[in-house]
Amino acid sequence: MVSEQIRERLHALERRELVGLVIIAVLVVAGAAFWYTRSLPSPVHVVATAGGGGSRAPAAAPVASPSASPKQIVVDVAGWVKTPGVYDFHQGDRVIDAIRQAGGARPGADLTSINLAALLTDAEQIVVGKASGGGPVSSTTVGSGGGGSSGDGSNGAPVNINTATLDQLESLPGIGPALGQRIIDYRQQHGPFKSVNDLTNVSGIGDKRLADLRQMITV
């Protein structure tokens, strides 16, 4: 009976009144949903303070910056080594590295007066002397002999490039068997050297190598 009365009453309502009832019903449902959402518990955010006893969030790991490449330095290695010359090194290299780069010390070289552990510096010159007689003789202190000397390099005496044998020429720094033979061939073809400067006429001997030999040779 009740349901019939409700249906009769709904039929009696005008269309406008029916639309209003629907809108009211929607608003009531929306309000109930909004109230329910607000009543839900909100999440709690815990923020660690600097003085608090709680655990802190791990700090970001520092980013490693690329290391600078070592500074390049230039060193002149001269004297009683196998291949005297100017070589490039890096900051932090030592004297022993320079001597190794120059082919190593020749037999009879004196390394006791050189600090092999010293750090290299730019534009430095390292002169390896030759040990002779009762003690070492630095290659920078060997004087040039007078003309016509027949020195053979023994006891620190200069080598006479006009009379020296192949073995005596090979005892000079930077002079190997091939270059020593070219020196002998040149003096046989052109006569004795008139001065040590004429040695640059031999193929393979330039101004730099002559400068390394100048104090060790004579004519």
Q: What is the largest CA-CA distance in the chain?
A: 152
Band the pLDDT of 11: cuts 50, 70, 90. Answer: low
For residues 208 and 158, membership in a common domain is answered with: yes
pLDDT over 90 (residue 74)? yes
Q: Which has the minimum average pLDDT: 95-104, 125-134, 136-145?
A: 136-145
Look at residue 157 and tell me if it is in a domain: yes
Q: Report helix, strand and coil shares of the chain as percent, to nearest 5.
A: 35, 15, 45
pLDDT over 50 (residue 140)? no
pLDDT in tens, 154-205: 556 889 999 999 888 988 888 888 898 999 999 989 889 999 999 999 988 8
Domain end marker among 105, 125, 141: 141
How many other C-beta atoms lie within 10 A of the C-beta of residue 100? 15
- Tell me which amino acid residue 122 is: D
Better pLDDT: 7 or 198:
198
Domain span including residue 73 = 69-141
For residues 203 and 150, membership in a common domain is answered with: yes
The confidence score (pLDDT) of residue 67 equals: 62
For residues 147 and 203, membership in a common domain is answered with: yes
Structure tokens of 120? 């290299």
Classified as helix, coil or strand, 68 is coil
For residues 194 and 131, membership in a common domain is answered with: no
CATH number of the structural domain spanning residue 191: 1.10.150.320
